[in-house]
Amino acid sequence: MNYQIKKNIDSFPKLVLVAFFIGIIMPFPAKGQSPTPENMVLVNAGGFIRGMDADRGKTNSDKNQVLKEKLPVSKNTFEDESPARMIYLSSYFIDKYEVSNTQYKEFMRSTDHAAPAYWDHRHLNIPQNPVTGVNWFDANGYCRWNKKRLPTEAEWEKAARGPAGLTYPWGNTLDIKKANFSKGNTGKKVVTTPTDSYPDGKSYYGAYNMAGNVFEWVQDWYDPDYYKDMQNVRNVKGPQLGLKMGVPGKYEEKIKYGQKKVIRGGSWFAPAESITTTHRFWNDPMNNSYGVGLGIRCARDIKENSGMIARTYYMDALVEMGAEKFKKAYTSINKALSTNPDNTEYKNLKKIIKRRGDL
């Protein structure tokens, strides 16, 4: 069945099917794995659908038009989420909640780290609400101090949308009761909500507020064309450097030129269009306060045992076979079998590769 993975899969439903398929053939690697740390959730190794095809984006409530009005960003940016494709990630942990003011305060007290931009904002500095007004360096520093790291953009997206490729963490339709974002002129003063708010809006993996509340910094540099790179499909880490954003307009005036880091998830005053699980936005890594509400969620590696390394080679073999690179796939499956020679899954795949590649 594995040969169903083709090189250029562009139809979304097919991708969803494949995602489930991969989910089934890659059961949870529970053996020898470290227990899930407190207030983190486990995201299992396997494939997920990253991005959204441009044509789908267009029909999706005229998303592009809305974006065009709100943000003077380059034309590329409207297409920066496409094409949708299958990406394979090793297992990792990700924070169940956004980092709170209380947690950030501990970090400041113990390291003398500078206060975030909204530290003395009486509505945003509420202890149980997410810290906001941090730049990328603050976010990175906080995660490191906590013996964690920022998630990659792909890790963030997988944790938000789950194996079924959802548009929102909870499903495929917008629901104003499930996230804290700008809901238009309701007359209410909207600010951040506690990090454990909107439990009904949590993701498949159990992460809260991945839509709305505060934008979250990820590790990756931003390049609107990054998804068009068809080579890179396993444990992707983003481009080497970000694209220099030189787009004219008011936002640009503020943000100036230079390389940008990706931010994800939308915030309490961001429009509905920005809280989808695929929406990519960017900001200067130095910026802590222009207009968006910048917060943190950390991730952590899982110490992989040899069984999991074999699993990664097995995943490689699947991908390479899908790309009809049978020789490479053959090398990879042999590496997997050299660690786990008795694994029947691996043996079966080797047979398939041999037959399909005439090896």
Q: Is the peptide bond before 83 cis (omega within 30 degrees of 0)?
A: yes
Give the E-state strand segments of 119-182 in sequence order: none
Residues 278-317: x where in contact with other proteins by CB under 8 A, - otherwise, as a string: ------x-xxxxxx--------------------------
Are the C-beta atoms of 270 and 224 separated by less than 8 Å? no
Buried/exposed code over 130-145 (b: 16+ C-beta within 10 A; e: otherwise): bbbbbbbebbbbbbee
The phi, psi pair for 234, rounded to 5°, reads: -125, 130
Q: Write out the two tokens for 208.
A: 């809260």
Dihedral of the alpha carbons of 68, 70, 74, 80, in degrees to the nearest 10: -80
Binding mask 113-152 for other proteins (x = CB under 8 A): -xx-xxxxxx-xx-------x-------------------
Q: Which range binds other proteins by CB under 8 A, 41-49, 109-117, 209-217, 221-229?
A: 109-117
Selection from 100, 132, 138, 79 nearest residue 292 by Cα:
132
Q: Which of residues 154-213 bind other proteins (CB under 8 A)?
A: none
Q: How many CB atoms lie within 10 A of CB 344?
A: 8
Binding of other proteins at residue 81 (CB under 8 A)? Answer: no
- DSSP assignment, residue 214? S
Q: Which is nearer to other proteins, 87 or 255 (CB)?
A: 255
User: Which of 6, 7, 254, 327 lies at the binding interface for other proteins (CB under 8 A)?
Assistant: 254
Count of positions on this chain that bind other proteins (CB under 8 A): 25
Nearer to other proteins among residue 112 and residue 342 (C-beta): 112
Binding segment toward other proteins, per CB under 8 A, in 36-44, 105-113, 263-271, 331-339: 105-113
CB 221 → other proteins: shortest distance, Å? 16
CB-nearer residue toward other proteins: 138 or 304: 138
Amino acid at 11: S
Dihedral pair phi/psi, residue 155, rounded to 5°: -60, -40
Q: Should residue 106 be labelled a site residue for other proteins when binding is judged by CB under 8 A?
A: no
If one asks whether residue 256 binds other proteins (CB under 8 A), the answer comes out as yes
Residues lying near other proteins in the complex (CB under 8 A) are found at 108-109, 112, 114-115, 117-122, 124-125, 133, 254-256, 258, 284, 286-291
